[in-house]
Amino acid sequence: MNNYTRIDSIAEQTITDALASLDITKGYIKGRYVDVYNKSSWRVGIISNVTSDTISVQYEGCNNNQDYIKIRGKRAAPFRRYTQGSTGQEVNQFRYNKINKDMIERKLEKLLSSSFTVNDPEEFVQFFRGDFFFYVDSLLTKLDVNNTDSEAVKDIMSFLNLCIKVIAEWIRDSWNLKPEFEAAETLDLLYKIHGRTALSTAYPELAEILHNLLGGSKRTIPTFRFLYGNSKNTIGNNEEVKMAVGWCVSSFYREFKTIGGLEEMIRMIKM
């Protein structure tokens, strides 16, 4: 199917045939994310090895213990089939890494410059709903850099403002994705084979990022304290938590409003 064609302009039989011929096991490749059922919930795994009938996974954000999953069993599913908007982590082990940040930043800038053109749905979901989402979540909840590194703070704030721009532009473009939103609700795994649908289904992760940036989670308090403390040359102790959260949230809110994100969100709510 053509990734750039509106889903309601594609013949129903074409979509049916494409989904029927989809072999989800071909997406089980070393280094990629996969949804894995573990004990009582679905979590995100990273594939570390693949055999003819088994994948070995490490759970995202956890230790190096391996779990062995039957490729065609009920415990494995394509990434984001069941873990929408979730890191699936028990312990977030990510840390600030400028090399990773720069790589993610370049990919985001490329998406923006192309008006979110998705050429490869599988790769897009792995990056946008995986690498990008996990990195931002960890940055907002488990920041671990030198407390005197003011340059790192400027770099981090610049990156988080880019995230806000990405979210605002996605909301603005989402008006054109209404057919894909509706189709994704009834056609399981359509996001794996159609670019516009893959883009439309990214809202759970983007909503979670925006929720955290605007102070919706207590998990962000340590990061906000760190960013505020460095910007104000203060320690950022417990008495300053409210000021730290207020300073960060106000900064991100102003950026979101300035570039039109708030206006687009209100428009979407009123729809």
Instruction: Give 94-130 pLDDT, tens digit per residue.
Output: 667 788 889 999 999 999 999 999 999 999 999 999 9
Quick check: 152 and 145 in contact, CB under 8 A? yes
Residue 122's pLDDT is 96
Looking at residue 59, its pLDDT comes to 82
Pair 66, 57: CB distance under 8 Å: yes
What is d(CA 148, CA 124) in angstroms, rounded to the nearest whole number?
A: 36
Cα–Cα distance between 215 and 21 in angstroms, integer?
44
Please name every residue paired with 250 in a beta bridge, in sequence order, or none if there are none: none
Q: Read off the pLDDT of residues 124-163 as tens digits, 9 standing for 90 and up.
A: 999 999 999 999 998 898 776 655 566 778 888 999 999 9
SS3 38: strand
Residue 27 and residue 149: Cα distance in Å, rounded? 40
What pLDDT does 154 receive? 84
pLDDT number for residue 149: 65
Average pLDDT over residues 232-240: 58
**Which pLDDT value is given to residue 64?**
63
Q: Report the distance separating Cα 118 and Cα 87, nearest Å.
A: 23
pLDDT of residue 92: 54
How much is the pLDDT for 55? Answer: 95
Residues 92 and 129: their CA atoms lie apart, in Å, by: 16
User: Sorting pLDDT into bands at 50, 70 and 90, what band is 194?
Assistant: very high
- Comparing C-alpha atoms, which of 89, 104, 110, 118 is closest to residue 201? 118
In this predicted model, what pLDDT tens digit does every residue of 19-54 receive, in sequence order? 999 999 999 999 999 999 988 889 999 999 999 899
Mean pLDDT of the chain: 88
What pLDDT is stored for residue 231 in this prediction?
Answer: 64
Among the ranges given (56-70, 168-182, 223-237), the one the predictor scored with the smallest mean pLDDT: 223-237
Tell me if 236 sits within 8 A of 244, measured CB to CB.
yes
